[in-house]
Amino acid sequence: MSARAEVLVRRLGRVAYAPTVAAMQQYTEQRDPQTIDELWLLEHPPVYTLGLKARTKPIADAGAIPVIATDRGGDVTYHGPGQPLVYIFMDLQRRGSSIRRLVTAIEQALIDALEEYAVAGERRAGAPGIYVAGRKIAALGLRVRRGATYHGVALNAAMDLRPFGAIDPCGYPGLAVTQLADYAPGTDARDAGERLLRHLCRTLGYTDGIRHAAEHVLLPAGTTTLTL
């Protein structure tokens, strides 16, 4: 990866899924070749999300958890408190990169972040994401629009894993999931997110400058858009 390796980091706190996706789409549509890349660190309230491969597959036991179809790649997954996400807005053409190289860099950042907790993360051929002892601990889902990426990566840090039991995570029946707190008791999800963010800045090659936007408060109930 090369060319204008700068990034703006936003820490958005816990924000609703649907307006966040709308904000990602709006940002991507409005950016131009001079727009600086961005990384958004955040969490979502409980939500099942359906990638482009999963839109026709209902969730039989969603309960009170909303189910939202979205435009990212991949199948079905769950997001909830204690699971930091980093959404990645990279101009692939300007950086001289590709989706394959980007996925490799994201997975390496996850492996390096887990190593700080003495946890060995592993890749699995044909199944993007990172696994620990055969259980999935981090999921990737990206979309490319107008030569730039959005959506990103989720790390199970210290969360309630039970909602995963209602789905086939990432479309794989019987796939077991895990979280960092199972191997590193006392894990703080915010700290885990910051560590992942730091490693992403490195593996994605943002060496020319990392800018930090002011933190954002939680979205009030009924909010439909994010103001960035």
Report how far apart, in Å, the C-alpha atoms of 100 and of each of 88, 139, 160 are: 14, 15, 31
Copy the structure tokens of residue 180.
Answer: 């960092």
**Got the DSSP string for 153-205?**
EEE--S---GGGGGS-GGG-TT--B--GGGTSTT--HHHHHHHHHHHHHHHTT
The pairing of strands 85-89 and 130-132 is: unpaired
Which residue from 197, 154, 156, 199 is spatially nearest to 180, judged by alpha carbons? Answer: 156
Return all residues near 92 (Cβ < 8 A) that are at least 6 apart: 98, 99, 102, 144, 147, 148, 149
Indicate which residue of 114, 148, 167, 170 is catalytic. Answer: 170
| Whether 170 is catalytic | yes
Copy the structure tokens of residue 7.
Answer: 């990034």
Burial of 36 (0-12, 13-18, 19+ CB in 10 A): middle
CB 150 within 8 A of CB 108: no
* Rounded Cα gap, residues 78 and 179, in angstroms: 13
Catalytic annotation, residues: 170
